[in-house]
Amino acid sequence: MRLATHLTCALAACAVIAGACAIPAAAAETAPPAAYTESIPGSVVTFDMVPVPAGEITMPDPAKKGATKKIKVGPFWMSKTEIPWDAYDIFVFRLDEPQGAPGKDATTRPSKPYGEADRGYGRKGYPVINESYLGAQAFCKWLSAKTGHTYRLPTEAEWQYACEAGQPAPTGDKLKECAVTFADKTSPCASKSPNAWGLYDMLGNVAEWCTDLKGKPVACGGSWEDKPEKVKPTARKYQTEDWQANDPQDPKSKWWLSDGQFVGFRVIRVK
């Protein structure tokens, strides 16, 4: 909870000068972000956010084939692990609300899945799978409303920058140490070693929903299903109709991917 302490100090200083006031944006930008633990009100679930320093990444330029462009990113906080079911279930099943009638609230929530969205791979401590980009986005909106902090999905530039953490892409034994690849199913979050910035499972386990440079949904980093050579910071998957091949309904679910057992997400917060 170092962030909380830091903010309390800032607030105290502020109060002395101008009475009650909001935190000035400048203070948040200049202060080095510190790791903190976020709690979801109305539940006992918490998750850790780690700081990612500001920097620059070179990416293929979507406007010009073959060209690259430099993109400034950060600083931001990123969730230390992929978002686990523990948090997503509160959102989907309204476990943050009193028990009773079907709930209504300001933020849209996914439909309840028919069947076992975790595929029996594991729930508590395991990364969310089979959720749509829309579902991951809606989670961010809900989480923001619940916590008062603005969360969103990373852009692919932010994600890749955080994934690389200033290091060359790991391969061979180094990859094995930090990534779940070519396995029978997902592993619990943070089963392997973190990267240089303390982020777990950026590579492998589940591919992670991001927004690409054109604003389209893309899943980054490869997953437990992929062979090691396909698990790397530049790995990208775009949704195809195969991701819902076994959804028996038509129109198919907006919220659930019947065959998206390899895709999850993590969140970032800029201020």
Partner 1 sequence: MDKQNGISRRDFLKTSAAAAVLVGAGPMLIGQGAHAAGSDVIRVGVIGCGGRGTGAANDCLAAGGDGIKIVALGDLFQDRLDGCLNNLTGKEELKGKVDIPKDRCFVGFDAYRKVINCGVDLVILASPPGFRPSHFKAAIEAGKHVFMEKPVAVDAPGVRTVMAAGELATQKGLGVVAGTQRRHQKSYIETINRIHDGAIGDITGGQCYWNQGGLWNHGRKPEWTDMEWQVRNWLYFTWLSGDHICEQHVHNIDVINWAIGKHPEKAVGMGGRQVRTDPAYGHIFDHFAIDFTYPGDVHVMSMCRQIDGCANNVSEHVVGSKGSSNCSNSITCDTPWKFDGDNPGAYQQEHKDLIDSIRAGSPLNEAQRIAESCLTAIMGRMSAYTGQEITWEQALNSKEDLMPTKLELGPLPVPPVAIPGRTPFV
Provide the binding-site residues for partner 1, judged by CB under 8 A.
89, 92-95, 99-102, 104, 111-118, 120, 123, 241-242, 245-252
Residue 240: CB minimum distance to partner 1, A: 8
Cα 18 from Cα 132, distance rounded (Å): 45
Indicate if the alpha-carbon torsion angle 193, 34, 38, 164 is positive or negative. negative
Residue 97: CB minimum distance to partner 1, A: 11
Among residues 234 and 239, whose Cβ is nearest to partner 1?
239
246 CB-contact burial (10 Å; exposed 0-12 / middle 13-18 / buried 19+): exposed
Strand-pair partners of 73 = 55
Tell me the pairing of strands 263-264 and 207-211: parallel
How is residue 245 written in tokens?
A: 């091949």
Residue 178: CB minimum distance to partner 1, A: 28
Residue 254: CB minimum distance to partner 1, A: 12
H/E element, 135: helix 133-147
Among residues 24 and 42, whose Cβ is nearest to partner 1?
42
Contact of 186 with 204, CB cutoff 8 Å:
no
Among residues 28 and 95, whose Cβ is nearest to partner 1?
95
How is residue 146 written in tokens?
A: 């619940």
Among residues 104 and 214, whose Cβ is nearest to partner 1?
104
Among residues 6 and 123, whose Cβ is nearest to partner 1?
123
Among residues 39 and 111, whose Cβ is nearest to partner 1?
111
Question: By C-alpha distance, which of 210, 209, 236, 238 is closest to 221?
Answer: 236
Q: What is the largest CA-CA distance in the chain?
A: 62
Number of C-beta neighbours around residue 184 at 10 A = 8
Q: Which residue has the tokens 């791979």?
A: 121
Residue 194: CB minimum distance to partner 1, A: 29
Residue 230: CB minimum distance to partner 1, A: 20
